[in-house]
Structure 1
């Protein structure tokens, strides 16, 4: 359907906005305008204004703004075309005709909606009749009141293969099969899909019944049976209780996603009308988008068991590519083995509200999940943690949010794995030395930067460390040391892998050791502070030479770069190449020697693979070199 701007303008002109909004909001005259407490957020002093002359509403508190169509889509939760149709009908306008195929689909959908509505009424009648006694008793045992059952339209499907089919015979078997109410098996007669179950209507954003969830009464499998996907029902795009939760979420300023129907119903009865639930599947991208239309940071409150927590982390991973500035998720973890229904029944609404007041941010949930994934007792384990966190962050689509997550994970790793602070006391007198409080021997002769910190003596270098030190690229090593001086906050992150630089010959090795001492002694120092201390310690000339703008062509060695995130990322990559390349070169030399000796049948394959890896490292390094126009 194509709606011209002229038609939409005429529709807005014929709609008295204050009359439309006044149906659900108490407006007060304020000069030529109307005002009220905003329906989109909680407030005590009116800041929501409606202007009929200009045809828009505006809230000076939360910035909600729109016209009549926007009101119907945002406040009433209608799809755009449905909003237009309702406004046009009220204004006496005829909506432009649909093409023949669209008209046929619309008419077909209307018939399906009628069938679903009639089925819902019939199920409700059964619940309150003689056949529904057992279902009513089950609701009573769960603490669901009669009023709550009525407000959700709960019903009962008798344990029969043909009673619903008979009751809705006027719609015809084909339509009832298409609506998911009957099951058709090959050429046999269709029969009722739902039998002997408590029936829970699933509604769309407009409140129309589009599907059902059937819960078994007593024992039986499956515990829940949902409608199949139909022209009305796409379970991956639908949330249970969406129609009722939209307005409640605006008032509460939050939306809560829980696992199941009964959780939503129990929470609504306890006063939490802003709860919704997916429909027997993991949270989908479309469902997350629905949640974000109601709140910038929805709260996910899945069951406290292992399955519930796995579902929560799956939703977290699925949300990452969709994050944006201010748009995220938060989590509430329930006591082990409990769901929201259990909690509000056993401890009351106050206990649940207490949990909701301090939800766990998405970044915290991801960090804890990866931290607990495996022991972190070895450098390899810790490197694995950093790799996993980096991979998670890099799935985020928004570059600003992605950089923030990379920075946050980096900082958390720095704090978690920094060398432990040692208890120390100043031994006054002429020596000027620090002594460990545990009784260790004093270390005389402060090295640069040892003004406020202590590092334990370095262990003797291994043969591997010496091999790496001998094989490092001297130009790249100079660039890395320059980068660490420019970005001293990164030193602690790479301390383990950079140990081989201490063994480099001559002034470069000594400079690196001095830079590390300075940075670890005071982690708040910026580049200028590090350079000042180095100058006082006799390293001024070599540091200045490394930091000359035309010496090394990398972003992390330049002082005039305005992209800190890029510089840090490039420094990370350079360090990875620096420490990996000597090992690859050594392995390649070993494979070549084995090939020449003819003693190893796999030497040729290893040689080819290592040459490819060597070329890949060269390419990675080439990508870090600034182009001429960046100089």
Structure 2
């Protein structure tokens, strides 16, 4: 359904915001506005304001801001259309009718909610019955109390092919099939039968608390261990989160959201009094699920199992989040003891044990760094180049420019510290400046950069210099945006520029930067055009627009500086990869092995990736 901006504006105009927010918080009249303690974070002094005339609320403490629709979606967790319908009903407005197909789908969905509710009730009755004895014993063994069973609506599906079908036959076999409760065989003449058999049943609810699907855990041996409802009109396992209906209100009180792997992990945390936990429905975390998490908490804590599979899931979640990171959108991680899940930890140490872990979560930037550093030994030039290439690939996946630049700077600092330790520098992992002044020496009146990394001495093995056009584009770009030189002066100084004019101008620019001169565009071009480099500057500057954002004087400065940094880094990484590739090829020619061949192919792919990246920069406006 599409709602026009005009219709939504009319809805907002007919809605008095204070009456929408009033039932949730105590309002205090303050002139033409209202004040209250913010419902989105804990505070004792009111910093939350409501302006009925302008139709928006704003918190000066946490920054929460929005209109009546936003309040219902963010505070009460309602889907957008449900919030609109609730406000429209109170405002006496009719929501525009959907097209016939949408109307039919909504009417069918309403009926299916009743079917799912009836199924959940029946499963609960079976858990309490004679056939539910083994299931009750299992839950008791796992520490699940009667009140927890009640709160989560846990039930039991008997190990029979037709008991649910018979019990709910008055609701219609077609609806039971459409809900995924029955399986209809493809063979003609075959009867439908119960999907869930011999399983403990965990109802999956939407944000409004309506049952939309089930997860069933088998009792005893058998596969799969957990069986979910199939995708239906009501249920899409990649778009919803288990326990979202209970975790939403709880997270708004505690100002945090915890993400665990499974149903029993959520239930285990709840037994410890931690209700702000959700879980994906048997799949890796999806982008849609990330969006739902971030609506509740800008930095959810991923608390996955301590085994290899759990840590792999944590890394997948981190990588899935990269394109969507922002100033207030990230993930954090806690590492559980090896072989333990959150439920184990709660049963052994109670709430204190899990809170001790949650107290100091690991930032996403640290989790991915640790994953890549631990992926393989860093004892060869190829492996070190591979680490750098993987890190930069992660950087390029980040969509938000400022976050991308900060991740790049952070990881390059750590990489530099890791592969090129210096006497007297800080211990590995603490980081240091990429370009410490004390590493440079002054010889013959010029600053000389520190020696390049060891593998650069083998450049003759196979790495060529930067092509003339690109080299001159870099020089021209840094002349147009000289404040960018200091961001990567050491890397810029070591780029293998074969073009004599570009190399001489580059060395002059590096020397000016390391001399501490603060030069603007006019100042640096004046110096480059003087006697010492006049001829070279004339050759390079007449090239004009070479196709990059940073070679155009009227480009957006932020974009130009960003692209300059990316280009310098891509060329530097490409050089290192070419060196590693040449060495890997030499070793492969000496003695073939699957491992050496795989490394060669990975480096070839990495080189192509950086070539593509440089080509893409030429298209930026």
Same fold (TM over 0.5): yes
1:621/1:147 CA distance change after superposition, 3 Å: closer
Question: Contact 1:181/1:194 (CA < 8 Å) preserved in 2?
Answer: yes
Question: Following TM superposition, by how much is the alpha carbon of 1:551 offset from its aligned partner in structure 2, in angstroms?
Answer: 4.5
Question: Following TM superposition, by how much is the alpha carbon of 1:153 offset from its aligned partner in structure 2, in angstroms?
Answer: 1.0
2:414 to 392, 405, 412: 412
Which residue does the alignment assign to 1:47?
A: 47
Question: Contact 1:472/1:581 (CA < 8 Å) preserved in 2?
Answer: no
Question: Following TM superposition, by how much is the alpha carbon of 1:619 offset from its aligned partner in structure 2, in angstroms?
Answer: 12
Q: Name the TM-score, length of structure 1 as normaliser.
A: 0.74
Q: Which segments of 5 or more consecutive residues in structure 1 lack a partner in the other structure? A: 424-444, 531-539, 585-615
Question: Following TM superposition, by how much is the alpha carbon of 1:221 offset from its aligned partner in structure 2, in angstroms?
Answer: 2.3
The CA RMSD measured in Å over matched residues stands at: 4.8
Question: Contact 2:302/2:332 (CA < 8 Å) preserved in 1?
Answer: yes
* Partner SS for 2:238: helix
Q: Does 1:329 align with 2:354?
A: no
> Using the alignment, how far apart are the partners of 1:623 and 1:77 within structure 2?
40
Which residue does the alignment assign to 1:159?
A: 159
Question: Contact 2:382/2:580 (CA < 8 Å) preserved in 1?
Answer: no
Which residue does the alignment assign to 1:603?
A: none
How many residue pairs get aligned? The number is: 557
Q: Does 1:396 align with 2:393?
A: no
1:545/1:96 CA distance change after superposition, 3 Å: closer
In the TM superposition, 1:112-261 aligns within 5 A as 112-185=112-185, 186=187, 187-261=189-263
2:389 to 359, 362, 387: 387
Question: Contact 1:549/1:559 (CA < 8 Å) preserved in 2?
Answer: no
In the TM superposition, 1:173-572 aligns within 5 A as 173-185=173-185, 186=187, 187-421=189-423, 447=443, 464=460, 487=485, 490=488, 492-493=490-491, 525=514, 528=517, 548=537, 551=540, 562=557, 563-572=560-569
Question: Following TM superposition, by how much is the alpha carbon of 1:173 offset from its aligned partner in structure 2, in angstroms?
Answer: 0.8
> Using the alignment, how far apart are the partners of 2:456 and 2:175 within structure 1?
81
1:350/1:449 CA distance change after superposition, 3 Å: farther
> Using the alignment, how far apart are the partners of 1:232 and 1:457 within structure 2?
57
Greater displacement, 363-372 / 4-13: 4-13
> Using the alignment, how far apart are the partners of 1:351 and 1:294 within structure 2?
24
1:379/1:149 CA distance change after superposition, 3 Å: same
Question: Following TM superposition, by how much is the alpha carbon of 1:264 offset from its aligned partner in structure 2, in angstroms?
Answer: 0.9
Question: Following TM superposition, by how much is the alpha carbon of 1:546 offset from its aligned partner in structure 2, in angstroms?
Answer: 8.5
Deviation per CA, 1:308-343: give whole Å up to 9, x if none.
Answer: 111111122222222233322222111111111111
> Using the alignment, how far apart are the partners of 2:611 and 2:345 within structure 1?
58
Question: Following TM superposition, by how much is the alpha carbon of 1:20 offset from its aligned partner in structure 2, in angstroms?
Answer: 3.7
Which residue does the alignment assign to 1:601?
A: none
> Using the alignment, how far apart are the partners of 1:121 and 1:626 within structure 2?
59
Q: Name the TM-score, length of structure 2 as normaliser.
A: 0.75
> Using the alignment, how far apart are the partners of 2:610 and 2:163 within structure 1?
71
Q: Which segments of 5 or more consecutive residues in structure 2 lack a partner in the other structure? A: 426-440, 520-528, 582-608
* Partner SS for 1:225: strand
Structure whose alpha-carbon radius of gyration is higher:
1
Greater displacement, 130-139 / 148-157: 130-139
Greater displacement, 108-117 / 575-584: 575-584
Question: Following TM superposition, by how much is the alpha carbon of 1:360 offset from its aligned partner in structure 2, in angstroms?
Answer: 1.6
Question: Following TM superposition, by how much is the alpha carbon of 1:480 offset from its aligned partner in structure 2, in angstroms?
Answer: 8.2
1:576/1:281 CA distance change after superposition, 3 Å: closer
1:367/1:493 CA distance change after superposition, 3 Å: farther
> Using the alignment, how far apart are the partners of 1:84 and 1:548 within structure 2?
63
Question: Following TM superposition, by how much is the alpha carbon of 1:114 offset from its aligned partner in structure 2, in angstroms?
Answer: 0.3
Question: Contact 2:216/2:227 (CA < 8 Å) preserved in 1?
Answer: yes
Deviation per CA, 1:532-588: give whole Å up to 9, x if none.
Answer: xxxxxxxx999755885864658999999954333333444566788999999xxxx
